Amino acid sequence: MGAAAYHARMTRVFSGVKPTGELHLGNYLGAFRQWSADQREFDCLFCVVDLHALTVEIDPAELRRKTFQTAVGFLAAGIEPDLSTLFVQSHVHEHAELSWIMECTVSYGELTRMTQFKDKSGSKTSVRAGLFTYPALMAADILLYDADRVPVGEDQRQHLEIARDIAIRFNNRYGETFVVPEVALPRFAARVMDLQHPENKMSKSEDSPQGTIDLLDSPDEIRHKIRRAVTDADGEMRFDPEGKPGLANLLQMMAAVTGRSVDDVVDGYEQYGPLKDDLADALDEVLRPVRERWELFSSDPGEIASMLDQGAEKAAGIASKTLARAKDAVGLLPRG
Ligand code: TYM
């Protein structure tokens, strides 16, 4: 059965998170919030992409711990196992297998143009080959599930474009096999910036402890970090991401958590102090239930393990069919 036949079904959503650093506000506003809305409307699969974590140095025990914690994070952020399929990437071997076919579809030149590879490899003396071929594995993740829609933050846009290019090239070369996925970015806060270095995106707290709001930060920590967020000296309330990146980041976050437009937020304040106070309150309101659910779910590891097991079972049922289609398309001889 070709990819076209799958269009008759419900829109399929796939997305993933790498279990490297602690989960932070960028993950929440860029990804999780979209996911929890999507699961009410679409057929959703969400994955802890542990194979991707091997592209950088990570202690094995730490990887296991973070894989589990990331799954807890999904639930805490409002992803419901009754509505969505949650699983761990390495539990479904088809990801690694399709990844090789993707590596043989994407070109070396395309991979060298990936800005995230340049950023992450630039200062290092030794770079793992997997960091370079990462977009091929990511394409495999998405294409295995015939995903129509991939909700991610802005930083993943280039990887999504290459996944689309790979799908189109493969279909042209071997016949209709994969669904070509669409990227879905959130309306606001598609790129949450670091509070201390607003020219950089918010990422792991290990790299910038005061610039990153972790999902589990206490109300005091949130308030402290927002109050100390870098703005500018002219004190003029205006949305100008180029000239006033720190303020623009705060305004976007406020719009994202309150559902107001950025213009509306700008109109509501004359000074930075009150904006920061209200933003800290609004963030706490959004993150408090996440902390509470985290407490609840992390107390039952057995339950999480069995949920992930069921998720992997369901995911493998879909992935095995797509992989068989792809292997057949490229001419790999089936077992007799
Ligand atoms: P990762 O683990 O770095 O991030 C997970 C999700 O969080 C979003 N995100 C942000 N959004 C807004 N502002 C930020 N500062 C911010 N930081 C992170 C990311 O855009 C992402 O949606 N390569 C991916 C994981 C992946 C994947 C996939 C995603 C592997 N396979 C297939 C989608 C589909 C990554 O490293 O995301």
Q: In the predicted model, what is the mean pLDDT of residues 32-59?
A: 97
How many angstroms is it from 116 CA to the middle of ligand 1?
11
Q: How confident is the model at residue 2 (pLDDT cuts 50, 70, 90)?
A: low
Residue with tokens 């079972």: 313
Per-residue pLDDT at 5 exceeds 70: no
CA distance 327 to 329: 5
The stretches of the chain forming alpha helices (DSSP H) are 25-27, 33-38, 50-53, 60-76, 94-103, 108-112, 115-121, 129-143, 157-174, 219-227, 245-258, 262-267, 272-298, 301-330
Q: Mean of the pLDDT values across residues 229-257?
A: 96
Let me know: does 318 contact 179? Beta carbons within 8 Å.
no
Whether 7 shows a pLDDT value over 60: the answer reads no
Could you tell which of 90, 155, 179 is best to mutate to test the pocket of ligand 1, judged by most ligand atoms within 8 Å of the CB? 155
Kindly report the protein residue whose alpha carbon is nearest to atom 34 of ligand 1: 15
Residue 153 CA to ligand 1 center (angstroms) comes to: 6
SS3 label, residue 88 = strand
Question: What is the rounded CA–CA span in Å between residue 244 and residue 247?
Answer: 6
Annotated active-site residue 66? The verdict is: no
- Say what the pTM is: 0.95
Decide if pLDDT at 56 tops 70: yes
Mean pLDDT of the chain: 95
**What separation in Å is there between the alpha carbon of 237 and the centre of ligand 1?**
31
Q: What pLDDT was estimated at residue 9?
A: 86
Task: Point out which residues pair with 85 in neighbouring strands.
Answer: 45
Cα–Cα distance, 319 to 91 (Å, whole number): 11
Which amino acid would we find at residue 334? P
Whether the CB-CB separation of 52 and 137 falls below 8 Å is answered with: yes
Return the C-alpha torsion angle 149, 153, 156, 157, nearest 10. Answer: 70
Compute the Cα dihedral for 307, 68, 143, 181 and give only its sign. Answer: positive
* C-alpha to C-alpha distance for 66 and 59, rounded to whole angstroms: 10
What pLDDT, on the 0 to 100 scale, is given for residue 90? 98
41 with 84: CB under 8 angstroms?
no
pLDDT value for 3: 56
What domains lie within the chain, and their CATH numbers?
A: 3-190+301-330 (3.40.50.620), 209-295 (1.10.240.10)
Nearest alpha-carbon partner for 314 in 86, 16, 83: 86
Least confident span in 37-46, 169-178, 199-208, 214-223: 199-208
Place of tokens 């036949």: 5
What is the whole-number distance in angstroms between the Cα of residue 175 and the centre of ligand 1?
30
Q: What is the DSSP letter of 82?
A: T
Tell me the average pLDDT across 286-299.
Answer: 96
Tell me which residue has tokens 């950088």: 56
pLDDT tens-digit map of 71-104: 999 999 999 999 999 999 999 999 999 999 999 9
pLDDT category of residue 286 using cuts at 50, 70 and 90: very high
Is 30 exposed, middle or buried, given 0-12, 13-18 or 19+ CB atoms closer than 10 A? Answer: buried
Which segments of 202-271 does DSSP mark as H helices, in order?
Answer: 219-227, 245-258, 262-267
Closest ligand 1 atom, residue 17 Cα: 2
Beta bridge partners, 106, equal: none
Q: What is the largest CA-CA distance in the chain?
A: 74
Task: Give per-residue pLDDT as tens, 189-224.
Answer: 899 999 999 999 999 877 889 999 999 999 999 999
**Which atom of ligand 1 is nearest to 159's Cα?**
23
Q: In degrees rounded to 5, what are phi and psi of residue 182?
A: -105, 145
Contact by Cβ (8 Å): 68, 301:
yes
Residue 189: left if φ>0, alpha if ψ -120 to 50, beta else—which one?
Answer: left
The torsion angle over the Cα atoms of residues 304, 310, 314 and 315, rounded to 10 degrees, is: 40
DSSP-assigned beta bridge partners for residue 46: 15, 86
Nearest CA residue ID for atom 22, ligand 1: 152
- Percent of the chain at pLDDT > 70 equals 98
Query: Tokens 């419901």 correspond to what residue?
Result: 80
Residue 62 has pLDDT above 80, yes or no: yes
Per-residue pLDDT of 120-148, as tens digits, reads: 887 788 899 999 999 999 999 999 999 99
